[in-house]
Amino acid sequence: MLGISDGETLLIHAAAGGVGAVAAQLAVARGARVIGTASDGNHAYLRTIGAEPVAYGDGLAERVRSIAPRGVDAVHLGGSNDVQALDEILELIDQGKRQVPIFRTYPLSEAAVALEVSRTGHVRGKIVLDVN
């Protein structure tokens, strides 16, 4: 995950989402400072996973500069295929030190509804389809 390590600052966009929350937790576990963009309603959640929240929208750069005047070392914009990072987060989850946030579980028969909810872009965590 971008080689982030102890003492570095990472800015994660959509940090309250499924991928962003996992990335934030992994970076925090590695000793990084995490600044996460999210809507105001998700700021308290970001604090619980160790990230410093900033609001989306106009003036974002200024808000980031106000809490990180020296700038950030990296920006995590999307998913990662870093196998080592995935193994690391899975180990942390197995140990109970990190969690994968679940927004909601839908039965497979409601997959279309789940897709529409996902398209809103305003879910905190992962949407799960139950195939049983």
Would you say residue 66 lies in a domain? Answer: yes
* 48 pLDDT above the threshold of 90: yes
Would you say residue 108 lies in a domain? Answer: yes
Give the separation between CA 132 and CA 130, rounded to whole angstroms.
6
pLDDT, residue 90, reads 76
For residues 89 and 106, state if they share a domain.
Answer: no
Q: Which domain holds residue 28?
A: 9-94
Is 128:101 a contact under the CB 8 Å cutoff? no
For residues 44 and 78, state if they share a domain.
Answer: yes
Would you say residue 124 lies in a domain? Answer: yes
User: pLDDT digits over 53-112, tens only?
Assistant: 999 899 999 999 999 999 999 988 655 556 676 677 778 788 887 777 788 999 999 999
Give 96: exposed, middle or buried? Use CB within 10 Å, 0-12, 13-18, 19+. exposed
Would you say residue 4 lies in a domain? Answer: no
For residues 106 and 72, state if they share a domain.
Answer: no
The CATH number covering residue 66 comes to: 3.40.50.720
For residues 88 and 129, state if they share a domain.
Answer: no
For residues 90 and 106, state if they share a domain.
Answer: no
For residues 119 and 74, state if they share a domain.
Answer: no
Residue type, 39: S
User: pLDDT digits over 8-41, tens only?
Assistant: 999 999 898 878 888 898 899 889 999 999 999 9
Would you say residue 55 lies in a domain? Answer: yes
For residues 23 and 45, state if they share a domain.
Answer: yes
Domain count, the chain: 2
